[in-house]
Amino acid sequence: MTQILIVDDHPIIREGLTHVLNLHEDLHVCCAAGSAEEAMAAVACQPDLAIVDLSLHSNSGLDLVKTLRQHYPKLAILVLSMHDESLFAERALRAGANGYLMKLEATEHILNAIREVLAGNIYLSAAMHEKLARALTVPKKIQTGSIASLSEREFEVLHLIGLGFSTREIAMKLNRSVKTIEAHQANIKEKLDIPNGKELMRFAIQWIENQ
């Protein structure tokens, strides 16, 4: 029986997913956590698979994926998130995830994703597979001021700016101070060669629209 750890900061999601997975004889949710700290403690139950949300109150889910991969290299990790796959899937895979699935997908897709990553495969939607395949066939120009130069937290901040969140709202959402978010914004502007906050907002919105 496959032992599963669920990491999500919404109790309803944890309980609902636990119920669905435990209906299957070969799957068992052995532990659940609402934060990265709880997840690192709960992983003592030695799960075969961790299902991780990217939006955790006090931490980045991407940071948690990196930590889990570093300390538990054989653990299968599936990211289950509300964030657009086209924006975050590649980042999640680079962090160490074995698959990425959006929460709006049907239950059967969640089960398929679990089976795939447990079998040692990478799980992405058909559309995302096609996008990555196209990206591999097109030569990339290396640019110092590219999105790829951003840290995981800077990437998250840029994403939230593009969705229309203010600096204070981003600080509340990521459980960081306003000054910390302003520092991230300054780093983003420097790395992407953007002159001011207004242009940063315009860039972020256009970036998301073009995905």
Question: Taking the domains of the chain in order of start, what are their residue ranges?
Answer: 2-135, 147-209
Q: Which is more confident, 137 or 166? A: 166
Tell whether the model's pLDDT for residue 11 goes beyond 50: yes
Mean of pLDDT values over 186-197: 92
- Give CA–CA dist 33/42, Å, rounded: 7
- Give CA–CA dist 208/203, Å, rounded: 9
Give the CATH number of domain 147-209.
1.10.10.10
Q: Which helix (H) or strand (E) holds 81?
A: strand 76-81
Helices assigned H by DSSP within 72-177: 85-95, 107-118, 126-137, 152-162, 167-174
Write down the pLDDT at residue 133.
63
Residue position matching structure tokens 């919105």: 205
Give the CATH number of domain 2-135.
3.40.50.2300
Average pLDDT score over the chain = 86
Angle at which helix 85-95 crosses helix 126-137, to 10 degrees, equals: 70
Write down the pLDDT at residue 27.
96
